[in-house]
Structure formats: structure tokens, C-alpha cells
């Protein structure tokens, strides 16, 4: 059993009866190294499977080439699209993404941030957890700020925090969705809302509300019911909506999952979509184009958000001390499909 301690530069130096510096230089193609020495050392290194210890280099250079991505979940299409976008830009620059999933849990988020800092992560992309938002905690961010580690908020942000942000224009996306329903003749639009407090939920809700206002339609509180973004969480609320004395003739879901859940309940009642009830979702997840009926939805550019967030990070990194934080808001796009095509 040869213990498998990784081969170090010192081991190689011993083997060639030279100093570690020589080995280091030989491996890095330093010009001031004899051609033969270089060749021999490189060959031997390859042979014994030498791999340089990046940990020691990190310590020396105070650079880890690692970035933290802290998100509440990776269960939805959107988050994975964001990660893909980050990846697209940052991987080629040599960065490793350390993806941390908080499960909407404040304590975990705090722990991850602390760990990322301890590991000298060079930047953090953060989409705060629901618990964090609910409780209004933010002390755990202080240390990130204090250490001047670039911090980029994704989507869910603290409004009173001085950092760069990349967000989707949820407000206008929601507005457009509801306006679309109203203009083709739906009168009573319900909203399956996201969890209270989260920016995405609230912005979409505002878009819904303001659009109704614009068309002089009174807000009916009973048409607004909370969900938790998951498909299951739409079932009971939709039933409640349909059981109302004056049920809605259209539903705007906070995301596609919820909209799909709602569709199911509606179809089960023998109602027609879009004939009896119109449906609009949010996200433009791949599945939304293939449900039956296909789902009208608001495209949310996750990949672009990831790429923009990367750009924000890079700007902040290269920026001077008095760097002004940027706030990117990407537009959404209404994708009209069958679930809202009223055959009048």
C-alpha cells in the first residue's frame, strides 16, 4: 500500500537533486531554465502525475478563482438558466462556481456566506432566501460588505443595500400579462400570488394590481391567493377561486408551475381553457410550450440575467474604490399561447 500523498514539487526536486525553485520554474516554462532540465522535469512530472497544489497557490497569491453562487433552490428552470448564464461568462475566465443551495433557509444562507468568505471566495452572487427576506435579517451580509468582496444580488434583493443587482422587470411583465387578458375580453382576473415579502412576488403582484387599476377594475381581495411557487400549492387556492359565488374568468399565476396546477384543477371541473377560463403563467419554462393547452407565459431571461450579473461582477472587480453600483433590469416578453386565446 503506497500511501497516496500527492507528489509535490519538493519530491521532484529531491529526485533531480535540485532545488524546488528550479522545478517550479521548469514546470512553468520559465526562460532561465536549461532546456534539458526543463524537459526532464516536465516528463517526470507527467509520469508521476504531478498536479500543482492550488491551495498553496491560493494562499500565496490571495487569489482563489472561486465565486460563490448562493441561491434558494435549483429546482426550477429559471435558476438553472441563471447558473448557465453565469457559467457561460465566468468559466472561460477561469473561475470556478461554488453553487450553494439554501433551501430558503436563513441559517444555511448565513453559514454558506461565512464559509465562502473564510475560503476567500472572490465574489458572491446572492439570491436571498425567503426566510432571510421574511425576517429582514441582513447582518450576515455585513461581513461580506466589510471585506469588500464583490456582492451581486440576483432577482431577490434588499432594497436598502448598496450593491450591484441584476433583476428581471417583473412588474412590467406581470402588467403585460394581465393587460393581455383584459384586452381580449376577460373581466375577472385572479392572481395566484407568490410568498409574501419576496421581491418577485410583490413586483408581479403590483403589476397585476396596477394593471387592474389602469382599466378601472376594482381589486377583489378574494381573487388574490398565496402559493409557494410549487405546482401543488396551486391546487387548493384554485379550487377556492372556482368555488366563489362570482368566480374569475382568468387566472394570472406567479409562475408556470402554479399556472399548470391551476389548469389542472380547472380542466378537472369540466371547464374549458381558454373558453371558460384564461390562464397566464410566468417564466416561459420549457414545459410551458407543451402542456395541453399550451401556456401563455412571460419569458424571464434567466440566462441573460446570469450573463449580466457576471458583467456586473467583472465591472466591480476592475472598478476603482469609488465604484458606483449598477442596477440592471432586463425586460420580459409576453409569449402568447393557447391558454389565453379566447375563441370569441
Partner DNA sequence: AAAATTTTTTCAAACGTTTGCATACATTAT
Partner DNA sequence: ATAATGTATGCAAACGTTTGAAAAAATTTT
Which residues of the chain form contacts with a copy of itself (CB under 8 A)? 1, 4, 6, 49, 51-56, 58-59, 64, 73-75, 77, 80, 83-84, 87, 91, 96-101, 103, 108, 114-115, 117-120, 143, 146-148, 230-232, 257, 260-261, 263-264, 267, 286-287, 289-292, 294, 321
Identify the H or E element spanning 1: none
Smaller CB distance to DNA: residue 25 or 342?
Answer: 25
* Residue 3 Ramachandran class (φ > 0 left, ψ -120 to 50 alpha, else beta): beta
What residue 183 binds from DNA, a copy of itself, none (CB within 5 to 8 A, per partner kind)? none
Angle in degrees, CA 101, 106, 110, rounded to 5: 80
Strands (E), the chain: 66-71, 96-101, 123-126, 151-154, 164-168, 189-193, 224-226, 250-253, 278-280, 297-299, 327-330, 333-335
CA distance 34 to 276: 83
Interacting positions 57-116 with DNA (CB under 7 A): 57, 59-60, 62
Among 1, 14, 29, 33, indicate the residue that binds DNA (CB under 7 A).
33
Smaller CB distance to a copy of itself: residue 235 or 330?
Answer: 235
Q: Shortest approach of DNA to residue 13 CB, angstroms?
A: 7
What residue 147 binds from DNA, a copy of itself, none (CB within 5 to 8 A, per partner kind)? a copy of itself
Identify the H or E element spanning 286: none
Give the Å distances, CA to CA, from 292 to 24, 243, 262.
Answer: 63, 23, 12
Interacting positions 135-194 with DNA (CB under 7 A): none
Among 3, 4, 35, 344, indicate the residue that binds DNA (CB under 7 A).
35
Q: Do 342 and 274 meet the contact criterion of CB atoms below 8 Å apart?
A: yes
What residue 82 binds from a copy of itself, DNA, none (CB within 5 to 8 A, per partner kind)? none
344 makes contact with DNA (CB under 7 A): no
What residue 4 binds from DNA, a copy of itself, none (CB within 5 to 8 A, per partner kind)? a copy of itself
Identify the H or E element spanning 137: none
Amino acid at each position: 500500500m503506497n500511501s497516496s500523498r500527492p507528489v509535490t514539487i519538493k519530491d521532484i526536486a529531491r529526485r533531480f537533486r535540485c532545488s524546488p525553485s528550479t522545478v517550479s520554474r521548469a514546470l512553468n516554462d520559465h526562460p532561465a531554465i536549461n532546456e534539458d532540465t526543463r524537459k526532464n522535469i516536465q516528463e517526470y512530472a507527467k509520469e508521476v502525475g504531478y498536479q500543482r497544489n492550488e491551495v498553496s497557490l491560493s494562499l500565496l497569491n490571495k487569489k482563489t478563482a472561486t465565486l460563490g453562487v448562493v441561491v434558494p433552490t435549483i429546482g426550477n428552470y429559471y435558476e438553472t438558466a441563471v447558473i448557465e448564464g453565469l457559467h457561460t461568462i465566468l468559466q472561460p475566465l477561469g473561475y470556478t462556481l461554488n453553487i450553494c443551495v439554501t433551501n430558503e433557509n436563513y441559517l444555511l444562507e448565513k453559514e454558506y456566506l461565512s464559509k465562502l468568505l473564510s475560503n476567500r471566495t472572490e465574489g458572491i452572487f446572492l439570491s436571498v432566501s425567503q426566510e432571510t427576506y421574511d425576517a429582514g435579517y441582513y447582518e450576515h451580509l455585513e461581513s461580506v460588505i466589510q471585506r469588500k468582496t464583490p456582492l451581486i444580488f440576483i432577482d431577490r434583493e434588499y432594497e436598502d443595500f448598496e450593491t450591484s443587482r441584476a433583476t428581471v422587470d417583473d412588474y412590467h411583465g406581470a402588467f403585460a400579462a394581465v393587460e393581455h387578458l383584459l384586452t381580449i375580453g376577460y373581466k375577472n382576473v385572479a392572481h395566484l400570488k407568490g410568498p409574501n415579502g419576496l421581491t418577485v412576488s410583490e413586483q408581479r403582484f403590483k403589476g397585476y394590481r396596477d394593471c387592474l387599476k389602469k382599466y378601472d377594475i376594482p381589486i377583489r381581495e378574494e381573487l388574490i391567493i398565496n402559493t409557494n411557487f410549487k405546482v401543488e400549492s396551486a391546487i387548493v387556492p384554485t379550487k377556492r377561486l372556482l368555488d366563489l359565488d362570482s368566480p374569475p374568468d382568468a387566472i394570472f399565476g406567479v409562475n408556470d408551475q402554479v399556472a399548470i396546477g391551476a389548469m389542472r384543477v380547472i380542466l378537472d371541473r369540466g371547464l374549458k381553457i381558454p373558453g371558460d377560463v384564461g390562464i397566464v403563467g410566468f417564466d416561459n419554462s420549457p414545459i410551458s410550450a407543451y402542456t395541453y393547452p399550451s401556456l401563455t407565459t412571460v419569458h424571464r431571461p434567466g440566462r441573460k440575467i446570469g450573463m449580466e450579473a457576471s458583467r456586473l461582477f467583472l465591472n466591480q472587480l476592475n472598478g476603482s474604490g469609488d465604484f458606483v453600483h449598477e442596477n440592471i433590469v432586463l425586460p420580459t416578453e409576453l409569449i402568447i399561447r393557447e391558454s389565453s386565446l379566447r375563441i370569441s
